[in-house]
Amino acid sequence: MKKDSKIYVAGHKGLVGSALWKTLQNKGYTNLIGRSLEELDLMDQSAVAQFFEIEKPEYVILAAAKVGGIIANNTYRGQFIYENLQIQNNVIHQSYVHGVKKLLFLGSTCIYPKNAPQPMTEDCLLTDVLEYTNEPYAIAKIAGLKMCEAYNMQYGTNFISVMPTNLYGPNDNFNLETSHVLPAMVRKIHLSKCLEESNWDAIRDDLNKRPVEGIDGAASEEDILYILKKYGIYLHHSAREEETRLFTPPASQKQPVTLYLWGSGNPMREFLWSEDMAEACVFLLENRNFEDIKASSGDEVRNTHINIGTGKEIAIRQLAETIQQTIGFQGSIEFDRTKPDGTLRKLTDPSKLHSLGWKHRIELEEGVRLMYQHYLA
């Protein structure tokens, strides 16, 4: 790519897209194009075709997607498969029609089987059943990377696919109804600390910025406590205090708060700072073509995608403890084993990427600190 090449970043305001946009700018790329959802609905086939006809981007990064955590994936199954298929079908096909020089498709490591060998190599794809809770999303992402492969084989396009592990970072989604595990924990533990310290100004400020199910900072304390409890944040009163509603501890006294998180806390997860992921993507755009990947595939061209990860994992329970220490919450964190765990392990094998000369920079402890600073800001 040249520094003045016209690059379209689809989904440039999200966690992934904003990190890519920032990285491209930092590397001196000056001709970036982005469109908000209000400006361009990527599910609208004719609108996407018109956009490509007018703008004629030379390079495309497909970072737009409907994403969410385990609750959202399992609840909005139809939306997750339909919307993601629509978005990627439109963008990938129009990139072919309008002669885009290279496209980068971003998927997710949830494409791998539930019981895949650990760590997961690219060759694990389609070797067993998927995790049930995110199966629709995973199938959409598999379809996207296979569409890129198929277009490359039939039409000679240069479309490459990457599968990042669990991402976190600036512009993450902190909506408790749809967020992924790490940003959800950051917000819940922050709110737990505020409640523990009876810091109602901070609680109301948080809810004003990000209302939860319509509850904002103007709601009554009773309504706020109800919605916090619904998402696992419990303030413990004695029976007498509950009955009279007269419990007002001294300012120096911490209130007894327990945070309940879903599952057993035992699943292992891998996390990658979003800006590290963006640097890996730009590195591949600058240094890797489909023909390079195809050359090592043998007679049958399969699994040409590339994992992006750290190759390191942490138990959800340990992650919660790390965030708790960073934020300074002194209450109790418990795990609700009646709720699903999801896949027990999801560790990527980033050997293919490492062999090309790229490795991550930000370790999890530093990333959590940076994430919380971002949240407070």
Give the residue from 52, 161, 43, 146 showing the smallest Cα distance to 103. Answer: 161
Residue pair 70/20 in contact by the 8 Å Cβ criterion? no
Q: What is the DSSP letter of 338?
A: T
Phi, psi (rounded to 5 degrees) for 191: -65, -35
* Site of tokens 């600190």: 369
**Before 119, cis peptide (omega within 30)?**
yes
- Which helix (DSSP H) or strand (DSSP E) does residue 325 occupy? helix 316-327
- Which helix (DSSP H) or strand (DSSP E) does residue 375 occupy? helix 364-376
Query: Which tokens belong to 131?
Result: 């995790």
Question: Is 29 labeled as catalytic in the residue annotation?
Answer: no
Of 137, 168, 234, 372, which is the active-site residue? Answer: 137
* Site of tokens 């096909």: 93
Handedness of CA 348, 353, 355, 359 (dihedral sign): negative
Query: Which tokens belong to 58?
Result: 């030379």
- 268-283 in b/e form (b: 16+ CB < 10 A) is bbbbbbbbbbbbbbbb
The residues that are catalytic are 137
